[in-house]
Structure 1
Amino acid sequence: MKILHLLKTSLGAAWALRQMRELVRLGVEVHVALPGGGPLIDKCQESGIHTHVDQFDFPVGRPWRLAPKIRSLRRLVKEIAPDLIHSHFVGTTLTMRTALRGYSGVPRVFQVPGPLHLEYPFFSHAEMALADRRDYWIASCRWTRNRYLELGIPRDRVFLSYYGVDLNQFTTGNRGTLRAELGLASDTKMVGMVAFMYAPKRYLGQTRGLKGHEDLIDAIRICLDRGVRLTGIFVGGPWNNCIEYEGKLRRYAELKCGDYVRFLGTRSDIANLYSGMDLAVHPSHSENVGGALESLLMGVPTIAANVGGIPDLVSHGETGWLVPAKNPPKLAATIGYALEHLEAGKEMALVGRERAMKLFDAERTSKEIYDIYTRILKYS
């Protein structure tokens, strides 16, 4: 079996790398096309993945670049002769369908990494307009699968499989490291958020960042006004070099909360950071599963927005607490409640950890992907 994967970045997409690496172990001849300049290229080559450096992200706003991309992708498909093409991003999917519709009979799969484009009718219908009988979908949460069914895609063309993680990465760190680093008193509760900072997309009508940083800052202010003794910990730097937005967030937090909020920037010692938190919060406006997976795998009591694929993992009152997105007062009330019931939160987090280990084991999910390939190729 020979599969060509399409990525729009070589800087992130660790979830795609894990999947491709496991597929190689299953005996699949894996090829990947991705842009140059990032560490993912070497990691792919080290994993036995045939690597082709090219950028197939759809050139929104630069239509004159589309024709060369079409020619390049057609040439690559002819050279590799894959049994199936697997795209992991909306942009690469649009390019794939534009280039190969009516040109190649190779089945095409779009594994949907997040639901954002499906939340806007213009973009969801634009994606549908380019699809034909050679196209299949792998939703990575139930919300996404149900949305495609609502859009009229037959059930036998929409699959469900989560992007897996390496479970060995999630081992308990030193609980005291973070508190000592920040010099916080032993009775100060640490409420943490681990996420990149995504600047608002004005063309989508967004006024706040996608991950909900501003909402958590507002909620922390409400908690402080109610006498809750806590410090907010924000881990993660600006995505796509949005330095200006990072600066605005830091200034907003200082204005609202002063020294009761700390920004730690991009960090690699996630185990120690999560282990030091009393409570993890994920207030995203749109999300697949997001950071809730990490905090529950670390056994940290978790609050998350009730959006996208998060309810696949976080069941309210069972594995954590769900709150409506974009609602700082409700988020503040839930933070206050959770901090008063941390033992119950820890018990729920352990239940959540067991669920996460079953659903998101990369070895299991990659076998699931292999089985999906087999089904598609059998009936194509």
Structure 2
Amino acid sequence: MRVALIIKTNYGGLWTVPQACALRDRGHDVVVICPPGGRLNARLTEAGIRTVASPFSFRFRPTPTTLIQLWQLRRLVHRLRVQVLYHHLYAATLAARLATVGMPMVRVQFVAGPAFLESRAVRVVERLLWRMDRAIVCGTRYTSRRYGELGVPAPRRPAVTSGLNLAWATADLPDDTAATRAEARAKARADLGLTPDQFAVIMVAYVYPPRKLAAHRNRAFKGHDVLLTAWQAFRSEHPDAVLMLVGGGSDQAGEAHRQDLMRRFGVGDDPSVRWVDTADDVRPYYRAADLSVSPSLSEGHGAPPEAALLDVPSIVSDAGGLPETVDETCGWVVPRDDAATLARALAHAYTEFRSGDLAARGLQARDRSHRHFDNRVSAVRMAQIVEHAAGVGGPPPEYAPPVTGKVFSR
């Protein structure tokens, strides 16, 4: 088949690379339509996947330019003789549907994150438009349930995580042994000025600005404010602990919001908080950390599976697919937007850090991530779903989802 993947970004969306490769390796002709340049195009080129610059900007503004660009996208899809259109991220999904109305092809959507489904306005629209897709591959079971609420039959909304490159965690080390990982951890902590007995907490996430259409209006969905509020309560009784926030603004508005958070919470005057702008390589920060926190108000699977690859357990909120990333052996789930409970969970993790039990959770987390978040496995499953949607091959094998963690209540 001729399969075209459409994605609105040229920087993120790296999960498309193994998916495109899996389709190609199964004998299909694959092309990716996305904005030119950027990290994503470079990775696709390295993998031998053809890319084509999108004529559509993925900005839906009420201007003639929007209509012209959608028409150009339609002509591009026609010229490529696409049989299956596999679209990623909601702006690309809308563009793919609108540009190809009436064209004889199979459309498959991949949903990386569920945030758009938490908007009432989008749900009203999506209740009608989902029918244009033969299948909706949901990155989390939570997303699949939300689409079920919109009337999508279960067979058309399979849940498959985008997964991770398991080799990434140790690709910069000479080997993957416990001794080598311990040595790398000691070096990372020393380089960051952390002593062996300091409790180090990390949050890795871009800072996004508040969105008008988001379910949590006037709030940024990653929950930095929730963690910083909890940290103020936690650090008053644990002054030796350190919080590392890794990630700058997602764009100019996101950076403005980050600066506002730093002022509001006095980060510049708080030696226990270190806010690192976007890092090209986050592995040293994870290796130096004892615990990862994902306090999002809305999220897919987020950072916890990535942290787990580097032996770091997580506290997550109960938002979206986050509870699917931990169980009782390797992390905690707290109610979203509940700084008081998050502070208590931090204190509980601190107690385990002092007793030596927290490191064991990290090893459990690593094992769990290897079992459930291998992108080589998920990419093949997604390719099978695309093929089945197009009438090629039988249904993919049943997916055994990971056990979900229970909400922390101490």
Deviations 1:173-195 (A, max 9, x none): 72234433343444321111111
Conservation of the 8 A alpha-carbon contact between 2:290 and 2:358: no
Q: Cα deviations across residues 325-376 of structure 1 (Å, max 9, x unaligned)?
A: 1111110100000110133333233223222212221211111012112211
How many residues matched? 378
Paired position in structure 1 for 2:303: 291
Unmatched runs of 5 consecutive residues or more in structure 1? none
Helix, strand or coil at the partner of 2:323: helix
Shift in Å, 1:227: 3.8
Q: 1:361 aligns with which of 349, 374, 381?
A: 374
Q: Summarize the alignment of residues 169-318 of structure 1 with structure 2, pairs less than 5 Å apart.
A: 169-171=168-170, 172=181, 174-204=184-214, 205-241=216-252, 242-254=254-266, 258-315=270-327, 317-318=328-329
Q: Distance in 1 between matches of 2:193 and 2:392?
A: 61
Q: Percent identity?
A: 29
For residues 378 and 242 of structure 2, the distance between their equivalents in structure 1, rounded to whole angstroms, comes to: 37
Could you say what secondary structure the match of 2:148 adopts?
helix
Cα distance in 2 for residues equivalent to 1:134 and 1:379 = 16
Matched AA of 2:279 = R
SS at match of 2:316: strand
**Bigger Cα displacement from structure 2, 187-196 vs 245-254:** 245-254
1:4, 1:31 within 8 Å by CA — same for their partners in 2?
Answer: yes
- 1:238 deviates by 1.0
For residue 216 of structure 1, report the CA deviation from its aligned partner.
1.1
In 2: Cα distance, 1:281 partner to 1:39 partner: 27
1:355–1:278 distance in 2 versus 1, CA, 3 Å:
closer
Per the normalisation by structure 1, the TM-score is 0.93
Q: 2-side partners of 1:208 and 1:177: how far apart?
A: 37
5+ residue gaps, structure 2, are 171-180, 394-410
Counterpart-to-counterpart distance in 2, 1:360 and 1:337: 27
* Equivalent residue letter for 1:14: L
Residues 252-261 or 351-360, more deviating = 252-261
Change (3 A) 1:194 1:375: same
Of stretches 35-44 and 8-17 in structure 1, the one that deviates more from structure 2 is 35-44
Q: Secondary structure at the match of 1:33?
A: strand
TM-aligned CA distance change 1:257 to 1:341, over 3 Å: farther
Give, as a single letter, the amino acid of the residue that structure 1 aligns with 2:284: N
Q: Could you tell me how far apart the structure 1 residues matched to 2:65 and 2:126 are?
A: 19
The alpha-carbon distance between structure 1 residues 220 and 55, as it changes in their structure 2 partners (threshold 3 A), is: farther
After TM superposition, the structure 1 stretch with the greater mean CA deviation from structure 2, 166-175 or 148-157, is 166-175
Q: Does 1:53 align with 2:53?
A: yes
Change (3 A) 1:39 1:301: closer
User: Structure 1 residues 203, 363: closer, same or farther in 2, change over 3 A?
Assistant: closer
Matched to 1:21, the amino acid is C
Q: Structure 1 135/268 Cα, relative in aligned 2: closer, same or farther at 3 Å?
A: same
1:41: which partner in 2? 41
Aligned to 2:71: 71
Give the C-alpha shift of residue 124 in structure 1: 1.7
SS in 2 for 1:259: coil
- Seen in structure 2, the aligned counterparts of structure 1 residues 9 and 269 have a Cα distance that, compared at 3 Å, is closer
Look up the match of 2:158.
Answer: 159
Q: CA RMSD in A?
A: 2.1
Aligned to 2:97: 97
**In structure 2, what is the equivalent of residue 329 of structure 1?**
340
The CA deviation at 1:169 is: 0.3
Deviation at 1:292, TM superposition (A): 0.6
Distance 1:206 1:300, change over 3 A: same
- The 3 A distance-change label for structure 1 pair 68 and 311 is same
Distance 1:98 1:319, change over 3 A: same
3-state SS in 1 of match to 2:210: coil
Show structure 1 runs of 4+ deviating over 6 A: none
Q: Distance in 1 between matches of 2:70 and 2:77?
A: 11
Counterpart CA distance in 2 for 1:250 and 1:355 is: 34
Q: Distance in 2 between matches of 1:132 and 1:63?
A: 27
